[in-house]
C-alpha cells in the first residue's frame, strides 16, 4: 500500500449521525473477493432511490464529511474497501467508532476526527468545496478555513509510510518467541486442553 | 499501587511497546469464521503460514443455513462455507463446521467449549467479540487486516484504551434482564458513549448475574462504542467453565483458578470514567429507532424528535420516518409482523428457557423463528422440551447460526415488516432491506409473539 502525506480533493457532505457500517455496505455484498472491487456497493441501500444522494451528485468527491460516530457497528473491513474503492481518501467526522478507524488506517483511508465537523457540514450544505489534507501538520483546509485533527502518532506513521504491520511485526520475531516461551511456562493453562 | 483488571490483562500480554505508544500483544485465542476469507487471502498472497494453528479455531456461523443443511442451495452461502473449510484445512485449524454437532455462533461456542477462559486475550473478526470479556478476558473485535496479522504472527498491535467502570447496584426488578441493563446505559450515554474505553461491569447486580447474563451485557458493550466489555471472574465463572472440553483439567485447573482470582481490579483502582446505575431504575426496554441508543422503557411513548439536542433531532426524525412511527404513539401499541429469538446476544439456554416460560401453553399471533445459539444449546433445549413449547406456539424451531440477526444466510425480514428481535442491532436494513427492527430481551420477544404487538413482559410473569 502506498503512503501519502498530502491530499487535495473535493469535499462533500453526508449529514447523518451514527452512520453504521451496515449502511456503508449492506451484509449481502460481503462475499465478494477484494479483487472484484467494493466501490459499487458503497451506501447501496441509502443511495438506492435517492437521486440526490451526495456521492451521486458529486461522484468525483474524495473527502466525505459526515455526522458524529461514523463507522459504528460491525467490524466489517469491507466498509473501508467500499469507501476506498469508490475513491474516498478522507472521512471527516466529529468522532469515529474505534474498529472502523483502525480498519481505515490499515487501508490508507484517513479518519479525520474534527470537533467542528458539524460546522463544516453546515457550510458545505448540498455543495462541494476544495479540501486539502496535510498529515504532517494534522490539518484539513476546506474553503480556506483550517481545522486540526487529532491523529495518534502510530496512525500518522502508518498512513504516511504505507506501512504493513506484518512486516514490521516479523522484525520482532525474537521478542515474540521469548514471550511465548515465558507464557507457556508461567500460564500453561492458557493453551487449550487437548480434549474434544 | 492499585491496578485495574484492564491493566493487569494488558500488562500480562504486552510483548513490547513501540515509539508511537502502541503495544504488541500476544493473542491466546483467535476465532475465525466465513467472513475471515479476506484475511486468508492476504496470507495466501504472501505465502505465509498460520503462526499458531493450535490457538486458532474456525466456526461456520455468519452464513450457516438454519434449514435444509443436507444440501446448501444458495450458491453464495455454499461458496463461503467451502472457503472456510478449505482455508482451515490448509492451515491445520480446528473447524466447528456446519455438520459438527458442536457448531453454533462463535461467541456462544467459545465459552461453551471452554475455549474462552479468564485471563486470555481473545480476538475475532467480529465486533461482538466483547462477549468473551464476561469471563475476565481481554476480548475485542478486529478487522480483516488485523485478522491476517494475528494469523501470521499470533500478535496484535493495539493502543491501550481508557478505563471505564459501570457499577450497577441492587436487585433487578421482575422482568428486567441483562439486555435491559445494556439498553439502559446505551440509551443514557449514546452509541458512541464509551468509544475509546474498555468497560468493566461491577456491582452487586453484575455479581448476581449468571454467565449467560454477563455475556449478554458484555456482548452489547460495542453498541455503546466500547470495543471491550469485561466482568471480573468469580465462582460463577469457574462453575460455568469447570469440565468444559478445552478448559484446563486437574492440577492445571487448580493453578488456573488461583491465577484467575487475582485478575479482579484492586480495591481503590482508579478508572478514567465511572458510571453508576441503580438496578431499580431499569425497566424492560425496547428500541424505537435505528440505533441502539434510541431505546425507552416499554411503558413509554414514541418521542418527539424536537425533544433531542443537536444531531440527534435529525437522526430521530429520520429514524421515525424509516420505522413508520409517530411521536406520542404508545410503544406498547406498536404492532409487529414477526419475531426473532436468536443471535450471539440472546440465544443461550437461559434465554430460551425464559422465553419458553411465557410461551408455554400459548399461541403466537405472528410468525417467528427460534434459532438457538449453538447446536448443543439446541440439543439441551430439546431435552428440556422447550422446542415443543416453541413449535406448539407456532414458531419455527431451526438450526444455529447468526441467522436473522445479520441476514447473510438468507434468513431476512421482508421490506416494510416489523420484527421484535432479541438481537443487537436495529440499524436500517440490518435484518433485511427495508426491515424494521425493535430490539429487546427474550422475554419481551416472547410477549410480543403472544400479543402481536410490543408488550410489557411483566404482564405474563
The per-residue pLDDT for range A79-126, each reduced to its tens digit, is 999 999 999 999 999 999 999 999 999 999 999 999 999 999 999 999
Closest chain A CA to residue B124: A75
Cβ-based neighbours of B103, under 8 Å, separated by 6 or more: B59, B60, B61, B64, B96, B97, B109, B374, B375, B400
Question: What share of chain A has pLDDT > 70, as a percent?
Answer: 98
With beta carbons under 8 A apart, name residues in chain B contacting A96.
195
Residue at A76 is within a domain: yes
**Closest listed residue to residue B255, CA positions, set A186, A23, A103:** A186
Our CA angle for A178, A182, A187, nearest 5°, is 145
Query: How many angstroms away from the CA of B7 is the closest CA of chain A?
Result: 17
Note whether B40 and A176 are within 8 A (CB). Answer: no
Residue B311, pLDDT score: 84
Distance (Å, rounded) from C-alpha A195 to C-alpha B209?
29
Cell 498460520 sits on residue: B50
Distance (Å, rounded) from C-alpha B44 to C-alpha B32?
16
Half-sphere exposure of A37 (CA within 13 A, CB side): 5
Q: In what order do the strands lie in the sheet with B228-230?
A: B228-230, B197-202, B162-169, B273-278
Distance (Å, rounded) from C-alpha B4 to C-alpha A131?
43
- In tens digits, what is the pLDDT along chain B, a chain of 461 residues? 899 999 999 999 999 999 888 999 999 999 999 999 999 999 999 999 999 999 999 999 999 999 999 899 999 999 999 999 999 999 999 999 999 999 999 999 999 999 999 999 999 999 999 999 999 999 999 999 999 999 999 999 999 999 999 999 999 999 999 999 999 999 999 999 999 999 999 999 999 999 999 999 999 999 999 999 999 999 999 999 999 999 999 999 999 999 999 999 999 999 999 999 999 999 999 999 999 999 999 999 999 999 999 889 999 999 999 999 999 999 999 999 999 999 999 999 999 999 999 999 999 999 999 999 999 999 999 999 999 999 999 999 999 999 999 999 999 999 999 999 999 999 999 999 999 999 999 999 999 999 999 999 999 99
Return the CATH number at A89: 3.20.19.10
**Closest listed residue to residue B199, CA positions, set B218, B223, B178, B214:** B218
Whether domain B285-460 has CATH 3.40.50.720: no
**Closest listed residue to residue B15, CA positions, set B146, B161, B155:** B155
Residue A196, pLDDT score: 43
With beta carbons under 8 A apart, name residues in chain A contacting B439.
none
Domain count, chain A: 1
Cβ-based neighbours of B262, under 8 Å, separated by 6 or more: B8
Beta bridge partners of B340: B369, B421
Residue at A183 is within a domain: no
Q: DSSP 3-state assignment of B109?
A: helix
Note whether B67 and B96 are within 8 A (CB). Answer: no
**Mind giving me the DSSP string for B309-353?**
-THHHHHHHHHHHHHT--TT-BGGG-B-SEEEE-TTTS-SHHHHH
Residue at A175 is within a domain: no
For residue B218, say whether it is annotated as part of any ligand binding site.
Answer: no
Query: How many angstroms away from the CA of B332 is the closest CA of chain A?
Result: 26
C-alpha cell read off for A133:
489534507
Note whether A85 and A94 are within 8 A (CB). Answer: no
For residue A17, give the nearest of B120, B146, B311 by CB distance. B311
Distance (Å, rounded) from C-alpha B151 to C-alpha A75?
17
- In this complex, do A17 and B117 lie within 8 Å of one another by their Cβ atoms? no
With beta carbons under 8 A apart, name residues in chain A contacting B20.
152-154, 157
Q: DSSP 3-state assignment of B27?
A: coil
Q: What are phi and psi of B431, to 5 degrees?
A: -90, 5
Cell 451528485 sits on residue: A57
- In this complex, do B245 and A195 lie within 8 Å of one another by their Cβ atoms? yes
Q: How buried is A139 (Cβ within 10 angstroms: 0-12 exposed, 13-18 middle, 19+ buried)?
A: middle
Per-residue b or e along B16-36, where b marks 16 or more CB atoms closer than 10 Å to that residue's CB? eeeeeebbbbbbbbbbbbbbb
Distance (Å, rounded) from C-alpha B329 to C-alpha B426?
19
CA-based max dimension of chain B: 64
C-alpha cell read off for A158:
502508518
Distance (Å, rounded) from C-alpha A130 to C-alpha A122?
15
C-alpha cell read off for B293:
441508543
Cβ-based neighbours of B365, under 8 Å, separated by 6 or more: B449, B450, B451, B452
What's the pLDDT tens digit per position in B407-433? Answer: 999 999 999 999 999 999 999 999 999
Cβ-based neighbours of B119, under 8 Å, separated by 6 or more: A187, A189, A190, B9, B12, B136, B137, B233, B256, B259, B260, B263
Beta bridge partners of B96: B59
Q: What are phi and psi of B59, to 5 degrees?
A: -140, 135
For residue B153, give the nearest of A28, A157, A169 by CB distance. A169
With beta carbons under 8 A apart, name residues in chain A contacting B427.
20, 22-23, 73
Query: How many angstroms away from the CA of A159 is the closest CA of chain B?
Result: 13
Cβ-based neighbours of B411, under 8 Å, separated by 6 or more: B66, B369, B371, B403, B404
Q: Does A1 have pLDDT greater than 80?
A: no
Crossing angle for the helix pair A98-105 and A78-85, to the nearest 10 degrees? 50
What's the pLDDT tens digit per position in B313-343? Answer: 999 999 999 999 999 999 999 999 999 999 9
Distance (Å, rounded) from C-alpha A174 to C-alpha B150?
16
For residue B419, say whether it is annotated as part of any ligand binding site.
Answer: no
Residue at A107 is within a domain: yes
Domain map of chain B by residue range? 1-283, 285-460
Residue A2, pLDDT score: 86
**Closest listed residue to residue A109, CA positions, set A123, A128, A120, A93:** A93
Q: DSSP 3-state assignment of A176?
A: helix
C-alpha cell read off for B245:
472440553
For residue A43, the enclosing domain spans: 6-164
Closest chain A CA to residue B157: A165
**Mind giving me the DSSP string for B163-232?**
EEEEEEESPPPTT--HHHHHHHHHHHH-TTTTTTEEEEEESHHHHTS-HHHHHHHHHGGGGGT-SEEE--
Residue at A72 is within a domain: yes
With beta carbons under 8 A apart, name residues in chain B contacting A20.
291, 425, 427
Beta bridge partners of A133: A7, A140
C-alpha cell read off for B126:
467480529
With beta carbons under 8 A apart, name residues in chain A contacting B428.
22-23, 45-46
Residue B328: C-alpha distances to residues B204, B304, B325, B333 (Å): 36, 7, 9, 11
Domains B1-283 and B285-460 share a fold: yes
Question: Chain B interface, mutation test: which of A25, A37, A164, A165, most B Cβ atoms within 10 Å?
Answer: A165
Measured between its terminal Cα atoms, the distance across chain A in Å is: 42
**Closest listed residue to residue B138, CA positions, set B152, B114, B122:** B122
- In this complex, do A69 and B195 lie within 8 Å of one another by their Cβ atoms? yes
Q: What are phi and psi of B70, to 5 degrees?
A: -65, -35
Q: Alpha carbon B417 to chain centroid distance?
A: 24
Beta bridge partners of B421: B340, B439
Residue at A176 is within a domain: no
Residue at A121 is within a domain: yes
Q: Alpha carbon A28 to chain centroid distance?
A: 21
Cell 476546506 sits on residue: A142
Closest chain A CA to residue B425: A73
**Closest listed residue to residue B212, CA positions, set B139, B135, B121, B282:** B135
Whether domain B1-283 has CATH 3.40.640.10: no
Supply the mean pLDDT for chain B: 97
Amino acid at each position: 500500500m502506498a503512503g501519502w502525506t498530502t491530499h487535495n480533493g473535493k469535499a462533500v457532505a453526508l449529514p447523518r449521525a451514527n452512520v453504521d457500517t451496515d449502511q456503508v455496505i449492506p451484509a449481502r455484498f460481503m462475499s465478494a473477493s477484494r479483487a472484484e472491487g467494493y466501490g459499487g456497493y458503497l451506501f447501496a441501500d441509502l443511495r438506492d432511490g435517492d437521486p440526490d444522494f451526495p456521492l451521486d451528485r458529486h461522484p468525483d468527491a474524495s473527502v466525505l464529511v459526515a455526522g458524529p460516530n461514523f463507522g459504528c457497528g460491525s467490524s466489517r473491513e469491507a466498509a473501508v474497501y467500499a469507501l476506498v474503492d469508490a475513491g474516498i481518501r478522507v472521512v471527516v467526522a466529529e468522532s469515529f467508532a474505534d474498529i472502523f478507524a483502525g480498519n481505515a488506517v490499515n487501508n490508507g483511508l484517513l479518519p479525520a476526527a474534527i470537533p467542528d465537523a458539524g460546522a463544516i457540514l453546515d457550510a458545505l450544505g448540498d455543495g462541494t468545496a476544495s479540501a486539502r489534507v496535510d498529515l504532517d501538520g494534522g490539518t484539513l483546509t476546506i474553503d480556506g478555513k483550517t481545522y486540526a485533527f487529532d491523529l495518534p502518532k502510530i496512525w500518522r506513521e502508518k498512513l504516511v509510510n504505507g506501512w504493513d504491520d506484518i512486516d514490521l511485526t516479523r522484525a520482532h520475531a525474537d521478542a515474540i518467541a521469548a514471550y511465548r516461551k515465558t507464557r507457556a511456562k508461567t500460564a500453561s493453562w492458557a493453551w487449550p486442553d487437548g480434549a474434544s | 499501587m492499585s491496578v485495574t483488571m484492564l491493566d493487569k490483562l494488558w500488562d500480562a500480554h504486552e510483548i513490547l511497546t513501540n515509539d508511537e505508544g502502541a503495544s504488541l500483544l500476544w493473542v491466546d485465542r483467535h476465532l475465525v469464521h466465513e467472513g475471515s476469507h479476506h484475511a486468508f487471502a492476504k496470507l495466501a498472497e504472501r505465502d505465509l503460514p498460520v503462526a499458531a494453528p493450535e490457538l486458532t479455531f474456525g466456526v461456520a456461523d455468519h452464513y450457516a443455513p438454519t434449514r435444509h443443511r443436507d444440501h446448501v442451495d444458495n450458491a453464495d452461502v455454499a461458496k463461503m462455507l467451502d472457503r472456510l473449510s478449505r482455508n482451515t484445512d490448509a492451515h491445520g485449524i480446528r473447524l466447528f463446521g456446519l455438520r459438527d454437532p458442536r457448531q453454533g455462533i462463535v461467541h456462544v461456542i467459545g465459552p461453551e467449549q471452554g475455549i474462552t477462559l479468564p485471563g486470555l486475550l481473545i480476538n475475532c473478526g467480529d465486533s461482538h467479540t466483547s462477549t468473551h470479556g464476561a469471563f475476565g478476558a481481554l476480548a475485542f473485535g478486529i478487522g480483516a487486516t488485523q485478522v491476517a496479522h494475528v494469523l501470521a504472527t499470533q500478535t496484535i498491535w493495539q493502543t491501550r484504551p481508557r478505563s471505564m467502570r459501570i457499577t450497577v447496584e441492587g436487585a433487578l426488578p421482575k422482568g428486567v434482564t441483562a439486555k435491559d441493563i445494556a439498553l439502559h446505559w446505551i440509551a443514557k450515554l449514546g452509541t458512541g458513549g464509551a468509544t475509546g474505553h474498555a468497560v468493566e461491569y461491577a456491582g452487586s447486580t453484575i455479581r448476581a448475574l449468571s454467565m449467560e447474563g454477563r455475556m449478554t451485557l458484555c456482548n452489547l458493550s460495542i453498541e455503546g462504542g466500547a470495543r471491550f466489555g469485561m466482568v471480573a471472574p468469580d465462582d460463577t465463572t469457574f462453575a460455568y467453565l469447570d469440565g468444559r472440553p478445552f478448559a484446563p483439567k486437574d492440577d492445571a485447573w487448580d493453578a488456573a483458578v488461583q491465577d484467575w482470582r487475582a485478575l479482579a481490579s484492586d480495591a481503590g483502582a482508579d478508572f478514567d470514567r465511572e458510571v453508576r446505575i441503580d438496578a431499580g431504575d431499569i425497566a424492560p426496554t425496547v428500541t424505537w429507532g435505528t440505533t441502539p441508543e434510541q431505546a425507552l422503557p416499554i411503558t413509554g411513548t414514541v418521542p418527539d424528535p424536537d425533544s433531542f439536542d443537536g444531531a440527534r433531532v435529525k437522526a430521530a426524525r429520520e429514524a421515525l420516518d424509516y420505522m413508520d412511527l409517530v411521536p406520542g404513539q404508545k410503544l406498547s401499541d406498536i404492532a409487529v409482523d414477526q419475531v426473532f429469538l436468536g443471535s450471539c446476544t440472546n440465544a443461550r439456554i437461559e434465554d430460551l428457557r425464559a422465553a419458553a416460560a411465557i410461551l408455554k401453553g400459548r399461541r403466537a399471533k405472528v410468525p417467528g423463528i427460534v434459532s438457538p445459539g449453538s447446536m448443543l444449546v439446541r440439543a439441551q433445549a430439546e431435552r428440556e422440551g422447550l422446542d415443543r413449547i416453541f413449535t406448539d406456539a407456532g414458531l419455527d424451531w431451526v438450526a444455529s447460526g447468526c441467522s436473522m440477526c445479520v441476514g447473510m444466510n438468507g434468513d431476512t425480514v421482508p421490506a416494510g415488516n416489523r420484527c421484535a428481535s432479541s438481537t443487537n442491532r436495529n440499524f436500517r436494513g440490518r435484518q433485511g432491506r427495508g426491515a424494521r427492527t425493535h430490539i429487546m430481551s427474550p422475554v419481551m420477544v416472547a410477549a410480543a409473539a403472544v400479543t402481536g404487538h410490543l408488550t410489557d413482559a411483566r404482564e405474563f410473569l
